Structure 1
């Protein structure tokens, strides 16, 4: 029988330093849907490459989850309006953010972009707030395009309203398509190859397209955006690429543009 080894019972106290405010990276927050399987991974990709950093460590990105139903309907999305306070309370107390993003394109439309901004600012210490819809419109404007294709996972009144909202913002949707799936948990499992083929179908519908917007933070677009742009010759903006680009821009962080699409070459 082995003899029990004796453990040290005393510890040496060692000095340490605390990161100064000047040395902290940009402070970002993300409100992620309970059902989203994609956005957190893609944000690490799109926010990578800040000066002096090969990965996403050049920014500090904190996440919280907001309760939502897996079935995507206007009614279910609107219920999130009353759940922001609980979700935002899970961020560290008294934490100051340069920017917070709300990770739902459709709910940003249903609740209202300005309303989302007001709610988040009323519950968090933050300078800027953005959404995928807000960011997509800013990104398409930065790309100087007007004739776009629109790809959504859902077929519902929300998709029609989204196209109307894009039209009101000055972007004519001349080709539109959907995967016809209503559950967010399934949308998060749609393959990047399927998305690539769908973008090709939109370009076939209208060869005069100037850009394609892929709507929904659950769709895994990061692996195929650069490929799609090379193959089809038009900029491709996804909900996740747009919100990451906008958050980096609002926080004043110049992230790498490599492999992320034309949008990241815009200011």
Structure 2
């Protein structure tokens, strides 16, 4: 009897966490598949395209190519970024673009759990997971955090230590750091700005409150979307100026 009650309680909590209707079209989800996102989207919506980030791509900024081998893109050859490498879970088009909008701007937080699982898989696929000391979600300015109510980048990575321990049966060699990098200047939305305007918008937007925590560390930045890369690169420049040994970025979707 107790076991049945416990099972019912777990099922009830699951219904609260995960919707029984598709976030895309509103239809009931009949049966989730192995895809973590199938608890939030029906098979029809998933079929609209959630392209996985894969080769060929630029080994520096992660820009995807239609064919050929991996090679540096023209932008990286002309003006290298501060980051060593950028990798992603998805390409930013199709259903993943809509899903990220629901998560980020409409607070559909049920997407956080499946997103983090896809992102963790990308971490394991594209990086040496034992190389890093700190994993840092890109911070929001206090005014934006208050308005939105959550930092989407932190929600994507908050359970990484547990996922690592479950996968490798040991604690991770890195830790999640949410205070080593701060957003000290409120900026306007990057949407609609070109690369030059984005870089200007982010001038002196970040700071490291305690450089001693950063010095000599290999850091992985985490963000939701990478378009021109201005946000991640501005953060990387700040961390490197504070003494970081190297900075890379992992994002949910790469435009």
TM-score, normalization by structure 1: 0.34
Q: Give the structure, 1 or 2, with the largest relative contact order (CA under 8 Å, sep 6 or more).
A: 1
Look at both structures and tell me which one has the larger radius of gyration over its CA atoms: 1
Which structure's residues are more often strand, by fraction? 1
TM-score, normalization by structure 2: 0.35
